Amino acid sequence: MRKRSILLSLFLVLLIAVTAASAASVKGWGEQVRGSAGLNAQLTGDPFTVPNGVVGTISFVNCDGDGFWIQGSAHLVFNSASQANGARPKAGTYYVYPNLKQGQNRAGVTITVSW
């Protein structure tokens, strides 16, 4: 009986450790800079990756543009940061870029995806 209790306790500790290790998040950011019409506009940023076997949830967005889009393994468009919270990108690699507001020359977006 004592051996069974020890094994059960060890199993529970291991299960909790594996669950904690699998919870993670990633951040991605992007920027758009307006250029001369048709010449030198710029999109820059760092991609984020949702690993195979999980579905991410957008948990944080900071955007000073007029909404933003995510492109990569899927294409998602959001008119506002609040609209994006809770969206669930599937496994894959993505870039995120802001839309410029009328008269805005530079905008940025940062997002956090958790799983």
Contact 104, 65 (CB under 8 A): yes
Average pLDDT over residues 31-44: 89
Domain membership of residue 19 (yes or no) is: no
Domain membership of residue 47 (yes or no) is: yes
Confidence of residue 77 (pLDDT cuts 50, 70, 90): very high
Rounded distance between C-alpha atoms, residue 76 and residue 90, angstroms: 11
Domain membership of residue 2 (yes or no) is: no
Domain membership of residue 8 (yes or no) is: no
Confidence of residue 61 (pLDDT cuts 50, 70, 90): very high
Domain containing 103 equals: 24-114
Q: What residue spans of 1-115 are helical by DSSP H?
A: 2-22, 81-84
Residue 45 Cα distances to 14, 19, 49, angstroms: 38, 31, 13
> What's the number of domains the chain is made of?
1
What mean pLDDT is reported for the chain?
87
Query: What's the whole-model pTM score?
Result: 0.78
